Amino acid sequence: MIVVAGEALIDLVVSAEGERAVPGGSPANVAVTLARLDQPVRLLARLGADGYGKQLTEHLTANRVDLGWAVRAEQPTSVALATLDATGQASYEFRLIGTADWQWTPQELPELAGTSATALHTGSLALALAPGAQVLEDLLARERRRDGLTVSIDLNLRPGIVTDRAAEQARVERQVSLAHLVKASDEDLAWLYPDRTVSDVMAGWRAAGVCCAVVTRGGDGAWLLAPDGSMHEEPAVPTTVVDTVGAGDAFTGGLLAALADLDALGDRPADRLAAVTAEQWAAVLRQAATVAALTCGRRGADPPRRAELDSLLRA
């Protein structure tokens, strides 16, 4: 079972067709992607008590995401206003003050030791916004010390919300050191480290204890730095882009699902990731890129199901 921790919010998507409210939030999107790829997944989220919270609960349940550890929060649901340009590229504004996602307390988090959990994935705003970010960071630190499951982080930075670059550099470097697997986009790194190359940043993460680093590059594909220091590159899968909402989250879900299928997630995580071969890393990246492409080919964060993915990979 993969445990995903973080926000589940509503995307108010504004396009030429009007406005619509759809379930979103990077960790929630990752959880849905994993569930649609037939991976057992449990979401650690704080779900609001309002109508949007009900919509999120129904969406996650319908997609077979286990909400057994979700918190029924008193606060309202967070909202992201997603505006699409003519190419389908999304830009975001957020309504986050006093909302449910960022109010974690230590008492709300489960003990993962002794469960069937093989990985803990989080990232995005959940690791950036107080007071809950510190609670989740403490959870990552505990699990990294225990060495009983794979710790995964997707940076998914939001410079429009957290604008202090120096503070974000310090936070990211502290949290990355707690992870076995780190994923970011080239846009994340261009903002975070404007004076450093992507390869330099990835090498720094490896020196800090990260086993595997992945950087997505939009239409230029993705890079992966493997535990043995080798670099792997995968081109983007051609698609007609409807919009990019949830594409990065779909990539992350596809990546984790592929590693789970290889039994590369679980206890002794460094050893498991080191055992993945070059050929297998190529297949992992290919699956992640294909899941992202399929998501870009339709409206909203709507990742593919296993049968659709397998059919395209076979073709």
Q: pLDDT tens digits, residue range 113-128? A: 999 999 999 999 999 9
- Tell me the pLDDT band of 93, cut-offs 50, 70 and 90: confident
CA distance linking residue 295 with residue 164, whole number of Å: 31
263 contacts: CB under 8 Å, gap ≥ 6? 272
Beta bridge partners of 82: 13, 92
CA distance linking residue 103 with residue 262, whole number of Å: 35
Mean pLDDT taken over the chain: 94
**Helices 132-146 and 165-176 sit at what angle, rounded to 10 degrees?**
30
The confidence score (pLDDT) of residue 13 equals: 76
Q: Which of 242-246, 282-286, 304-308 has the highest mean pLDDT?
A: 282-286
End-to-end alpha carbon distance in the chain: 29
Indicate whether 72 pLDDT > 90: yes
CA distance linking residue 23 with residue 79, whole number of Å: 10
CA distance linking residue 28 with residue 42, whole number of Å: 10
Give, for 59, the enclosing helix (H) or strand (E): helix 51-62
Q: What's the pTM?
A: 0.94
- State percent of the chain over pLDDT 70: 99
Q: pLDDT tens digits, residue range 180-199? A: 999 999 999 999 999 999 99
- Tell me the pLDDT band of 178, cut-offs 50, 70 and 90: very high
- Tell me the pLDDT band of 314, cut-offs 50, 70 and 90: confident
CA distance linking residue 229 with residue 213, whole number of Å: 10
Residue tagged 């990835």 (tokens): 202
Question: What's phi and psi for 299, nearest 5 deg?
Answer: -75, 130
Pairing of strands 231-234, 18-24: unpaired
Q: Amino acid identity of 108?
A: E
- Specify the higher pLDDT residue, 107 or 95: 107
When pLDDT is averaged across residues 232-246 and rounded to a whole number, the result is 88
The confidence score (pLDDT) of residue 88 equals: 65
When pLDDT is averaged across residues 161-175 and rounded to a whole number, the result is 97
